[in-house]
Structure 1
Amino acid sequence: MIRTFCKKTLLTAGALALLGGSALADEDSAFVEFKVLKPELAMTAATAALEYCRAGGYQVGVTVVDRFGVPQVFLRDRFAGAHVWETATRKAWTAVSFRSGTTELDQATKPGTLAEGIRHITQALPLGGGLMIEEGGGSLVGGIGVSGAPGPDIDDECAQAGIDAIADDIAF
């Protein structure tokens, strides 16, 4: 009896897989599906961001986090300050946590705004240089944070260069 049930279950699962498995990912499912960057792509993005900044004469640190804010890669150029680990990591975490670039979050959380309280969350760092990494369909797959350039606008440029380096790989 149990063996027959298992066979039928396996056959049904196999049939659903052949049909694309759409029934497995519906709203009634007990599971949530998501995408994250492979470590190799995270490394490519971090390296590209660091090299972009280096070409501009800036020594930086770069962190790439997964969609949950957990660091996948951290790179620090040889003369970057000791602070760049914390700031790059917090910028990347902030971008994925609030689903916003940190430059935009900086503006939205200025003192006197309704969202000012975000600035008091321990990990949050609303300071330019943190960007979300989204795949071609718009799903969040990670974040990148850069710290150490002479301004947050330049940190943003370096972070974007990192994303641009993997854009074709995550387009779809």
Structure 2
Amino acid sequence: MKKFLAGLSIALVPFAGHAQDGDGAFVDTKILKPELALEMAVAAMEDCRQQGYQVGVAVVDRYGGLQAFIRDRFAGPHVEEIAPRKAWTAVSFRTDTLALDRETQPGTMSAGIRDSARALALGGGVPVVSGDGALVAGIGVSGAPGPDLDDACARAGIAAIEAEIAF
């Protein structure tokens, strides 16, 4: 057993210093507080509502886990699936889904992304980045009459909490 542990420790030595930040075995991350996730979702929904759109809004953490979801009273049932997928896609690919739509058109180098079961290259998903550049969440909006309008409402939600995350 001692020989096994000694061999294992020797085998692991080359990997010892490869934490993302280069210091030790742990990586510090930032995750949006659930209260702010909900505030952002409500602000996005209200922005769409003021324009006459009934939407669903999802906020996921930086790892794609659902933090908040809100659906306006007359939003279609599809928003419960689509909004979280848009938010997940935004954090997964670290880009807004309007841009991802353009970059993954048939015949492009990244077109295969559209074959993913969960990724959704349809505008309305936006990564949420703190003032120091850390990805802290993603927001997805679904239900407005166009993906560009979903995107605008998502950005309004981010703007509502911008002062809180601009550190």
Give the alignment's TM-score, normalised by structure 1. 0.85
Distance 1:26 1:44 in 2: 31
Match 1:41 to one of 20, 25, 36: 36
Moved over 2 A (4+): none
Task: Render the CA deviation track for 1:100-119: whole Å, top value 9, x for unaligned.
Answer: 00000000000000100000
Deviations 1:78-97, CA, capped at 9 Å, x for gaps: 00000001110000000000
Gaps of 5+ in 2: 1-19
**Residue aligning to 2:59:** 64
Measured in 1, the distance between the counterparts of 2:22 and 2:124 equals 36
1:154 alignment partner, one of 131, 149, 152: 149
Alignment of 1:4-153 (within 5 A): 27-153=22-148
Secondary structure of the corresponding residue to residue 164 of structure 2: coil
- Secondary structure of 1:119's partner? helix
Aligned length: 148
How many percent of aligned residue pairs carry the same amino acid? 64
* Structure label with greater radius of gyration: 1
The CA deviation string for residues 20-69 of structure 1, in whole angstroms up to 9 with x for no partner, is xxxxx951410011000000000000000000000000000000000001
Q: Which runs of 5+ in 1 are unaligned?
A: 1-24
- In structure 1, the residue matched to 2:10 is none
Give TM-score, length-normalised by structure 2.
Answer: 0.87
